[in-house]
Chains A and B, each alone.
Chain A
Amino acid sequence: MSQAKATPSLKTARGLGSAKEGTDHWWMQRLSAIAMMVLSPLMILLVITLIGEDYATATAKIGSPFWGGVAFLFICASFYHAHLGLQVVIEDYISYHAARLTTIIVVRGVLIVLGLIAAFSVLRLMLA
């Protein structure tokens, strides 16, 4: 016990730990999940009420401040959450380092492109 005080115990991670990332990945996954506990029911409501509606009705609704805001925030939280979740799945199932890193980079890139397309589309409808 006295020795543990002199030198830091190895059971406790020092600094940001061996992965140099700290608990950030885990924590942001939870924060985005909590955000979507509120946002996903609203997003589903938005999608359901627009089923079978024409172009003018759909653009007017998503262009409104409230529903546009819901869609925009849902996009931010869901694409971020998807990226964090897919990274864990890839890390679990692809063991070969080069293939793992390549897949993570490609998936991240695709999600960034899709997320930006979705977010800017909503902004364009809101500002139109």
Chain B
Amino acid sequence: MTDQKTSVQRPLSPHLQVYRLPLLPLMSITHRVTGVGLAFGTIVLAWWLAALATGPGAYAIFSAFMMPLGGLALLGWMIAIAYHFCNGIRHLIWDTGHALELNSAEKAGYAVLAGWLVLSVALVAAAVFFWAT
């Protein structure tokens, strides 16, 4: 009745320290994390535009700050916006009542990841190109 095999195969209850997030919740929390990150990025956006509007001196200070570390932050900003953009489109599709089944939601999730990868590579390549020239 209770042999070794069935007791071993018994499903384990979710536990925070051993629970691996499935794709959909992982993508959901990533949408939030990128969103909050992009919100912090608005500080740099406002500083950049304010420096341009203030004058060459203020822009020189901004550029000096941006050159070593800010370049990486800019790449991070573009990768984050690419994710939030692709996954945001999936959210808008969900809002129309489509792709809500687990199967189609996961398919759309993989499409988002593929689009994100392509966009990120293209954006980073373009940024490096304009940096070099």
Q: Is the CB of A33 within 8 A of B92?
A: yes
In the complex, whether B130 has a CB less than 8 A from a CB of chain A is yes
B45 touches A89 (CB 8 A): no
Q: Of B32, B49, B81, which contacts A44 at CB under 8 A?
A: B81
B65 CB to nearest A CB, Å: 15
**Chain A residues whose CB sits within 8 angstroms of the CB of B91 once the complex forms:** 33
**CA–CA, A82 and B35, complex, Å:** 7
Cα A81 to Cα B8 with chains together (Å): 49
In angstroms, how far is the closest chain A Cβ from the Cβ of B17? 20
Q: Is the CB of A62 within 8 A of B131?
A: no
CB of A118 closer than 8 Å to a CB of B: yes
In whole angstroms, what is the CA distance A34 to B96 when docked? 13
Across the A-B interface, the 10 shortest Cβ-Cβ residue pairs: A121-B53, A121-B49, A82-B39, A118-B46, A114-B46, A51-B130, A124-B53, A55-B56, A117-B46, A121-B50
Q: State whether A59 touches B52 (Cβ < 8 A).
A: yes
- In the complex, which of the residues B53, B56, B88, B130 contacts A48, with contact meaning CB atoms closer than 8 Å? B130
Residues on A with C-beta less than 8 A from B60 are: 55
For residues 45 through 89 of chain B, which have their beta carbon under 8 Å from a beta carbon of chain A? 45-46, 49-50, 52-53, 56, 59-60, 74, 78, 81, 85, 88-89
Q: 14 A-B residue contacts at CB 8 Å? A: A48-B127, A51-B74, A52-B131, A55-B52, A71-B49, A82-B39, A85-B36, A85-B39, A86-B39, A114-B43, A115-B42, A118-B42, A124-B53, A125-B52
Q: Is residue A103 within 8 Å, beta carbon to beta carbon, of the partner chain?
A: no
Tally A residues with Cβ within 8 Å of B.
Answer: 35
As a 0/1 sequence over residues 92 to 133 of chain B, the CB contacts with chain A under 8 angstroms (1 = contact) are 100100000000000000000000000000010011001101
**B53 neighbours in A (Cβ, 8 Å):** 120-122, 124-125
CA distance A83 to B40 in the complex (A): 11
Query: Is the CB of A98 closer than 8 A to any CB of chain B?
Result: no
On whether the beta carbons of A89 and B36 are closer than 8 Å, the reply is: yes
Give the shortest distance, in Å, between A110 (CB) and chain B (any CB). 9
Cα–Cα, bound, A115→B88 (Å)? 22
Known: A58-B59, A78-B42, A118-B49. A52 touches B78 (CB 8 A): no
B131 surroundings in chain A (CB, below 8 A): 51-52
> Which of B43, B46, B59, B88 is most buried by chain A, counting CB atoms within 10 A of its CB?
B46
